[in-house]
Amino acid sequence: MTLSSIAIILETEFSGADIEISGMNALKDATSSEVSFVANSKYIKDIQTTNAAAVIVPASFVEHLPEGCVALVVENSYWSMAILSKYFAPVIENDDLPKAQIGEGTKVSPKAEIANGAKIGKNCTILAHVYIGAEAVIGDNTIIYPSVTVYRDCVIGSDCIIHSNTAIGADGFGFATNKLGEHKKIYQNGNVVIEDDVEIGSNVSVDRAVFGTTLIKKGVRIDNLVQIGHNCEIGEYSVFVAQSGSAGSTKLGRNVVVGGQAAFAGHLEIAPFSTFAARSGITKSITESGLTFAGFPLMDHKLWLKLQVKIARLLK
């Protein structure tokens, strides 16, 4: 899509060369053929170093753009980004792609559906009512139980186990809202990557990224009924117990243990080897490794235990 076409869609004007735009991306990751956006002043530092060809911005942010970067000035940049995201969304299935590649020794149930362009490794087991989307990739020796859905472009490594009714790569919960309270869908054009030796329980949702990748690293264990939001990163050998979850863009270090019904707010950084007791509510980043927490508001686990004793005595 040309930059002039994008300007027409967004009902704005620009000055500079009318170049081809290949996609959308975050400010930090955008290339010289991509368009990005900024809607919050805390990202001004990222504007100044972006390599994006053009950035969707409110008028007050234009002065921060680097030389050569085109400003697409709009009233509500988040809303405009949502509008434009639809135009870069890939097709759900593509009949022009080659037939799926199935590795030697892999067993695929006749009741499973494998879309064109998918690639499945050696010695896998794909059971009934599984759906593997266009250009998805499955490594070797992986077992996918009945009724699992792996959306387009997602990657699952080798020696993984995915249990029934889990969805890998559904759209993240993303939308923009205007002054009238109307909601505009942000098309989630990234993917999910699950590394080797990961086991995921039943009825789990791992959402695809808006841009880039939602990443589940090697050796992670995820129990049933867990939600992993878009653009999250789950560190190696971390554990999520049932009914826990994370909002979007939160990053966990390795060997983080998350108790049942514990939950993370979005855009947090969690230090490696952190442990969170059941029903913990994590709203701030954790910078020191090896600590154990509980409660909401979150506190040191030992302090939380003492507090429960004192509360119990008050009730006598």
Strands 199-200 and 213-216: unpaired
d(CA 192, CA 199) in angstroms, rounded, equals: 15
For residue 162, the Cα-to-chain-centroid distance in whole angstroms is: 18
Gyration radius (Cα) of the chain, Å? 22
d(CA 117, CA 223) in angstroms, rounded, equals: 30
d(CA 148, CA 192) in angstroms, rounded, equals: 14
d(CA 241, CA 278) in angstroms, rounded, equals: 9
Q: Which residues pair with 102 in a beta bridge?
A: 120
- Whether 230 is catalytic is yes
Cβ neighbours around 37 below 10 Å, total: 25
In 124-223, where do the E strands start and end? 125-126, 131-132, 137-138, 143-144, 149-150, 155-156, 161-162, 167-170, 175-177, 183-185, 191-194, 199-200, 205-207, 213-216, 221-222
Q: Give CA angle at 253 (23, 49), nearest 5°.
A: 40
Of residues 64, 163, 183, 230, which has the active-site annotation? 230
Strands 107-108 and 269-270: unpaired
Name the token pair of 265.
């707010």
DSSP state of 203: T
d(CA 221, CA 185) in angstroms, rounded, equals: 31
Q: How many CA atoms lie within 13 A of 54 on its CB side?
A: 31
User: Which of 220, 313, 292, 160 is closest to 136 using CA atoms?
Assistant: 160
Written in H, E and C, the secondary structure of 21-43 is CCEECCCCCCCCCEEEECCCHHH
Active-site residue list: 230
